[in-house]
């Protein structure tokens, strides 16, 4: 079993809707390319963050609880600016990701400072989430249709359902930044709309017209604008935590992952294993949503403008909470 160092839960508000899906928000990222804690950056007219809009959309889509994964070092700032505003609107809980949250018998390699990755962050909620849940990034604006689509998928799962997961597939052409490369999971699917592969590509951008990603050899490979990509908007059931814990031990047992101080336990790594071994299926859910976000500081003015346009159109109120 993993020893959850510095693990505790803060319950802000509770109700009886325990079978509604939960929204798990990954907010432990360093924000290095943006130059600060972009999760806490006020982009709406009253200082609303991107995650505020995600939570507002999730409530509209029928989610019953939110859980944040954050770093311990900005807990107080997070409490002051974020958690208090949701009281009375939706139950909210808080868990921490830290480097030393490892299975027994493993320790942090000397010199490692980088977090263990998105799937490690998901694992921090294993003791907190007992119902179907959706995973998202806190700094991505997914748009309401995406929450409606995955919320319905999760709510429609039979009680106790296992091994049937989902991913919202955005078109890569709708997910780029004008100010540099982005990281996306390039996806392929079968005739039943089930995911067959997802490969994390950390550098994607337009190169002289076509969209390209940089492969392992450093070459730019073109992809069609409509290629589905993962924006880390996944739908899982609690059995996913057990698979993750078992595979994380394999990941840590591989010497190259311990020697590489930047090796990460990505969600697509876990998902690919489950797909390849035919343990689980992952339905690729289509959405009309167009993503936007603040990968770089230069993205900020455009995001502020887009949010204000949605308010002007009546999609969101001037003040969310």
Confidence at 29, pLDDT banded by 50, 70, 90:
low
- Its pTM stands at 0.86
Residue 204 bridge partners (DSSP): 182, 213
Provide the mean pLDDT of the chain: 88
- For the ranges 34-43, 104-113, 124-133, 245-254, the lowest mean pLDDT is seen at 34-43
Q: 143-202, pLDDT tens digit by residue? A: 999 999 999 999 999 999 999 999 999 999 989 988 899 988 899 999 999 999 988 898
Q: 256-272, pLDDT tens digit by residue? A: 999 999 999 999 899 99
The mean per-residue pLDDT over the stretch 116-144 comes to: 95
More confident residue, 77 or 151: 151
Q: 10-23, pLDDT tens digit by residue? A: 444 444 444 799 99
Confidence at 126, pLDDT banded by 50, 70, 90:
very high
Cα separation, 250 vs 290, in Å, equals 36
Cα separation, 115 vs 97, in Å, equals 8
Is beta strand 182-189 parallel, antiparallel or unpaired with respect to 22-26? Answer: unpaired
Side-chain-side CA neighbours of 214 within 13 Å: the count stands at: 11
Cα separation, 144 vs 314, in Å, equals 13
Taking alpha carbons only, the member of 80, 44, 43, 100 closest to residue 297 is 43
For residue 39, what pLDDT is reported?
A: 62
For residue 38, what pLDDT is reported?
A: 59
The mean per-residue pLDDT over the stretch 309-320 comes to: 95
H helices within the chain, ranges in order?
50-60, 75-81, 118-123, 144-155, 239-253, 255-259, 267-276, 300-312
Three-state DSSP at 234 gives strand
Report whether 170 contacts 229 (CB < 8 A): yes
Cα separation, 97 vs 102, in Å, equals 10
Residue 185 bridge partners (DSSP): 200, 230
List, as own/partner pairs, every contact residues 214-218 make where C-beta atoms lie below 8 angstroms and the sequence separation is at least 24, other chains included: 214/181
- For the ranges 129-133, 198-202, 280-284, the lowest mean pLDDT is seen at 198-202
Query: Is pLDDT above 60 for 1?
Result: no
For residue 140, what pLDDT is reported?
A: 87
């Amino acid at each position: 079993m993993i020893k959850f160092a510095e693990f505790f839960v803060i319950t802000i508000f509770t109700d009886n809707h325990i079978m509604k899906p939960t929204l798990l928000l990954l907010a432990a990222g360093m924000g290095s390319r943006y130059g600060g804690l972009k999760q806490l950056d006020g982009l709406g007219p009253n200082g609303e963050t991107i995650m505020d809009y995600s939570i507002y959309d999730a409530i509209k889509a029928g989610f019953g609880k939110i859980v944040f994964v954050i770093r311990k070092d900005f807990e107080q700032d997070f409490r002051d600016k974020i958690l208090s505003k949701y009281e009375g609107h939706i139950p909210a809980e808080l868990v921490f990701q830290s480097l030393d949250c490892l299975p027994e018998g493993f320790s942090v390699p000397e010199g490692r400072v980088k977090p263990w990755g998105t799937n490690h962050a998901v694992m921090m909620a294993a003791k907190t989430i007992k119902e179907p849940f959706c995973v998202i990034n806190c700094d991505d604006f997914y748009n309401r249709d995406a929450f409606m689509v995955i919320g319905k998928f999760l709510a429609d799962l039979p009680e106790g359902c296992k091994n049937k997961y989902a991913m919202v597939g955005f078109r890569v052409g709708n997910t780029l930044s004008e100010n540099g490369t982005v990281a996306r999971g390039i996806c392929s699917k079968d005739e039943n709309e089930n995911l067959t592969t997802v490969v994390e590509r950390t550098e994607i951008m337009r190169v002289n017209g076509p969209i390209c990603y940089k492969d392992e050899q450093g070459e730019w490979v073109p992809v069609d604008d409509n290629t589905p990509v993962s924006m880390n908007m996944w739908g899982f059931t609690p059995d996913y935590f057990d698979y993750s814990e078992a595979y994380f031990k394999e990941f840590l047992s591989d010497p190259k992952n311990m020697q590489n101080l930047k090796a990460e336990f990505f969600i697509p790594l876990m998902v690919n294993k489950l797909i390849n071994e035919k343990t689980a299926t992952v339905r690729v859910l289509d959405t009309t949503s167009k993503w936007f976000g603040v990968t770089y500081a230069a993205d900020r003015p455009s995001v502020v403008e887009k949010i204000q346009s949605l308010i002007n159109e009546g999609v969101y109120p001037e003040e969310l909470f």
